């Protein structure tokens, strides 16, 4: 399904997913600017919540990858924040979830895929990395290659399918029973499901990178 074009910058079309990605980027950048001003040794309030988020992601990454995983913490944290906000922003009337578009989720999955393989090359060397595609036997190369491609596709489609499907279901409920069911279902599918899908996508990103560098 083609995303709706909101406006053009000269001849460049700005679609809904791109526009709301820019909005999320701007909001996160502004929030980080203010939240990192006047940091205290003993965190309180917003700083405490921010440190809980960072520590949680770091524990997740290091717990799966070991100490060498620390260098991936900024990437995984960025993915988690972006995907989380993208999933939840659809609850706001008139807003659009960028993760409801397949191009967005494919791009995120491709970034994880490329980072994992680049890290594997740097750790193992180019020749050892290439040999991995022909193990345990030479004729397994097509199957191993197909497995790598299917990993990206499944990573992207899992998030896209759940967010897009949830949006369609909510739209149907609004039409069928607009004054009875929307509120609890909006909380369930829009918030709870969005948080769950963020956790799943983030965890899979960590696992996929860990598999490649192990």
CB within 8 A of 12, min separation 6: which ones? none
Domain that holds residue 173: 5-213
Residue in the block written with tokens 């967005």: 104
Does pLDDT of 53 surpass 70?
A: yes
pLDDT in tens, 62-100: 998 888 889 999 999 999 999 999 998 877 778 888 998
Q: Is the preceding omega at residue 166 within 30 degrees of 0, hence cis?
A: no
Question: What average pLDDT is seen over the chain?
Answer: 86
Peptide bond into 57 cis (omega under 30): no
Q: What is the dihedral of CA 177, 180, 183, 186, to 10 degrees?
A: -30
Q: How far is CA 166 from the centre of its chain?
A: 17
Please give the pLDDT value at position 181: 56
* 97-145 residue pLDDT tens: 899 899 999 999 999 999 999 999 999 999 988 888 888 878 888 898 9
* pLDDT above 80: residue 21: yes
> What is the predicted pLDDT for the residue at 5?
85
Q: Is the pLDDT of residue 189 over 80?
A: no
Q: 185: which 2 tokens? A: 């279902």
Most confident by average pLDDT, 32-36, 43-47, 79-83, 187-191: 79-83
| 3-state SS assignment for residue 119 | helix
The pLDDT-based confidence of 186 (bands split at 50, 70, 90) is: low
Q: Report the pLDDT value the prediction gives residue 180, as an integer from 0 to 100.
A: 56
> pLDDT band for position 184 (50/70/90)?
low
Cα 204 to chain center, whole Å? Answer: 10
Helices (H) and strands (E) in the chain, counts: 8, 2
Provide the number of structural domains found in the chain: 1
SS3 103: helix
């Amino acid at each position: 399904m083609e995303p709706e074009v909101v406006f053009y910058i000269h001849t460049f079309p700005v679609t809904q997913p791109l526009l709301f990605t820019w909005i999320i980027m701007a909001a996160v950048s502004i929030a980080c600017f203010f939240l990192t001003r006047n940091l205290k040794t003993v965190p309180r309030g917003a700083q405490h919540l921010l440190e809980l988020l960072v520590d949680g992601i770091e524990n997740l990454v290091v717990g799966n990858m070991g100490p060498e995983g620390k260098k991936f913490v900024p990437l995984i944290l960025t993915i988690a924040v972006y995907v989380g906000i993208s999933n939840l922003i659809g609850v706001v009337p008139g807003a659009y979830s960028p993760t409801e578009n397949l191009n967005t989720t494919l791009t995120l999955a491709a970034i994880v895929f490329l980072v994992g393989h680049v890290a594997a090359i740097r750790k193992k060397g180019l020749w050892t990395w290439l040999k991995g595609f022909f193990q345990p036997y030479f004729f397994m190369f097509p199957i191993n290659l197909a497995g790598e491609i299917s990993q990206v596709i499944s990573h992207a489609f899992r998030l896209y399918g759940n967010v897009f499907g949830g949006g369609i279901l909510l739209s149907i409920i609004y039409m069928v029973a607009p004054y009875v069911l929307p509120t609890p279902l909006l909380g369930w599918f829009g918030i709870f499901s969005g948080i769950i899908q963020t956790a799943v996508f983030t965890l899979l990103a960590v696992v996929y990178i860990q598999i490649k560098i192990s």
